[in-house]
Amino acid sequence: MISTVIKLENEKIDAHSDSILSVQFSPDGTKIVSGSDDQTIKVWDASSLALVTERTNAHSNMVTSVQFSPDGTKIVSGSRDKTIKVWDSATLDLKTEKANAHSDWIKSVAFSPDGTKIVSGSEDKVWDDQGAWTKSETIKVWDAASLELKTEKQNAHSDWIKYVAFSPDGKTIVSGSDDKTIKVWDAESLNEVSKVENADLYGIDSVQFAPDGKTIVSGGSGTIKVWDATPSEWEKGEPDEDGDILWTNTKTEEERWQYAGDAEPLYGALSEDSNPRRSKSGV
């Protein structure tokens, strides 16, 4: 049995003047970036926690999410001011920004593994047919260099999208929401490829793929869960009179008809890991 003792190595008191909402190591582990309710982004030496550089008034409202690019040269930030910004990680000089990237505050931003795209999640609002504001929780994918919109999915969830992240191969995106749902999306089209409902008692605050992409970890109301995210295997049936084929998922027993000539389905439902040691509840 492997036992790990978490021991405090260093700390920085009053690192910000208000709540720190997001922190992350640089890819090489030498720096840490932090984003705060005080509207400031700071970069710290990971060993000493000495301040390397900072950007005051980085946003006009709380900085909700920060992340280094995979090569460590840039930092992306999302804010309650509805803006996405990309910064030079060495100087925190602004490289590019997208004002009104969403119509409400941005809860989560993340680079793709190759650094060419950024995904963002928000509780957007849109005008409905009756001329009233209505919620439209939206996921958007942006070109990382220009912050031009590549694709978006409105009504991706029925409540706040708390967290979004790319898979290690960059082909899919996972999202977690206050609607208690975890969903996996095709990164190019943002078509839904998998989901699990009632994944937590109250809602999902954080989700992330494992480095091998085979599992997803989620955190919510005092509970950590690990989900099987491996692509489903599909068993091909005989074609009907029109040539259409019924595929059966060997993991979930789900059945799907595919039109003649279409490839097999890609994914089925996420399933919770059956090993009870991999789900820990504090509720």
Per-residue pLDDT tens for 218-263?
Answer: 999 889 999 988 766 666 667 676 667 666 766 566 665 554 445 4
pLDDT above 70 as % of the chain: 77
Q: Is residue 83 part of a domain?
A: yes
Are residues 140 and 30 located together in one domain of the fold? yes
C-beta of residue 95 within 8 angstroms of C-beta of residue 87: yes
Are residues 260 and 276 located together in one domain of the fold? no
Q: Is residue 10 part of a domain?
A: no
Q: Is residue 163 part of a domain?
A: yes
Are residues 136 and 210 located together in one domain of the fold? yes
112's tokens: 């793709």
Q: Among 59-68, 145-154, 179-188, 254-263, name the one with the lowest average pLDDT.
A: 254-263
Structural domain total, the chain: 2
Q: Is residue 91 part of a domain?
A: yes
Say what the pLDDT of residue 136 is.
80
Are residues 207 and 254 located together in one domain of the fold? no
C-beta of residue 124 within 8 angstroms of C-beta of residue 154: yes
Residue located via tokens 């191969």: 169
C-beta of residue 205 within 8 angstroms of C-beta of residue 162: yes
Are residues 260 and 191 located together in one domain of the fold? no
pLDDT at 208 over 60: yes
Are residues 57 and 148 located together in one domain of the fold? yes
Are residues 158 and 53 located together in one domain of the fold? yes
For residue 44, what are the domain limits?
20-230+272-281
Are residues 68 and 84 located together in one domain of the fold? yes
Q: Is residue 25 part of a domain?
A: yes
Are residues 159 and 71 located together in one domain of the fold? yes
Q: What is the pTM of this model?
A: 0.82
Q: Is residue 3 part of a domain?
A: no
